Amino acid sequence: MISKNKKIFVAGHKGLVGSAIIRALKYRKFKKILNIKKSELDLKNQAKVENYFKINKPDYVIIAAAKVGGILSNKKFKADFIYENLSIQNNIIHSAYLNKVKKLVFLGSSCVYPKYCKQPIKEQYLLSGKLEDTNDAYAIAKIAGIKMCESYNFQYKTNFISLMPTNTFGPNDKYDILNSHFLPALIKKIHKLKNSKKPKLQIWGNGKAKRELIYVDDIADACLFFLNKKTKHSLINIGTGKDFTINHYAELLNKIICPKKKITFVYDKSKPNGTPRKVLNIGLAKSYGWKSKHNIVDALRYTYKNFLKNNTK
């Protein structure tokens, strides 16, 4: 077990996943949690990142920092997504090597796998087919991070591991309708219809695309579990192993947010669906003794309560 006195640097501590990792570390009584504001350290600046590591000497590192967004922003700002994510992960991974970090956890995304991947998706399917066009720039950056960890382990005998989470949701999510992922966008849109007499909501695609969701506290739990665990594999999927259609999630949120009203969902088939289906094979994670703990309905209810508490617009 990792000593509670070891220094753990969490990059991206203000984000959805990073903030959950901080909560998990504090709950477990870790005493030396390192984090720093964007305004104080630009993770895209190699010299500044290397200097931060040299001064603070973290024992362990979790990379939750990334530029993320939904279909629209991924499609529109490809250059930003590939440049910023490559810069952040390259600087942190290399600095971790230079400063002899004991173990590093790199968080990727299930979008690294091919668009028409065999389901459920196994880790070995990486680079076996064409990526989804709308987020290929982001995916390529994350694939580079996976291969960078593998390469440093091979050449320098480091202990770097890549965890690939499925679609994540929970407290501290982004609810920007144009730039957020589908679930927080749905929560905000359905919430706005609470006082409508005849609520109607247009959703991109045909509603039949299937997505797997996982509660963010489960991701945080997985990060700490595998930070402690000796593994033979450097790439491990993190998910629930269950997926549902976009339409199913919309209907579920309708019951949670507007229990007394039936929203009419209208699907705009002229807009992209994204990847048709995406559910991870989580057999490898289970073989090491990890599995998700949160029920989807309870987690969605808690997420909506958090939304009400922190989003007044």
Which residues carry out catalysis? 138
Q: Can you tell me the distance from the alpha carbon of 95 to that of 34, in angstroms, rounded to the nearest whole number?
A: 15
DSSP string for residues in 149-192: HHHHHHHH---EEEEEE-EEE-TT----TTTS-HHHHHHHHHHH
Q: Can you tell me the distance from the alpha carbon of 107 to that of 87, in angstroms, rounded to the nearest whole number?
A: 15
Helix 246-257 vs helix 182-192: crossing angle, to nearest 10: 40
Residue 141 dihedral angles phi and psi, to the nearest 5°: -60, -45
Chain centroid offset of residue 133 CA: 19
For tokens 């320098």, name the residue.
156
Q: Is 156 exposed, middle or buried (0-12, 13-18, 19+ CB in 10 A)?
A: exposed
Q: Can you tell me the distance from the alpha carbon of 278 to that of 166, in angstroms, rounded to the nearest whole number?
A: 8
User: Coil, strand or helix: which one is 215?
Assistant: strand
Q: Can you tell me the distance from the alpha carbon of 237 to that of 290, in angstroms, rounded to the nearest whole number?
A: 11
Q: Can you tell me the distance from the alpha carbon of 286 to that of 187, in angstroms, rounded to the nearest whole number?
A: 31
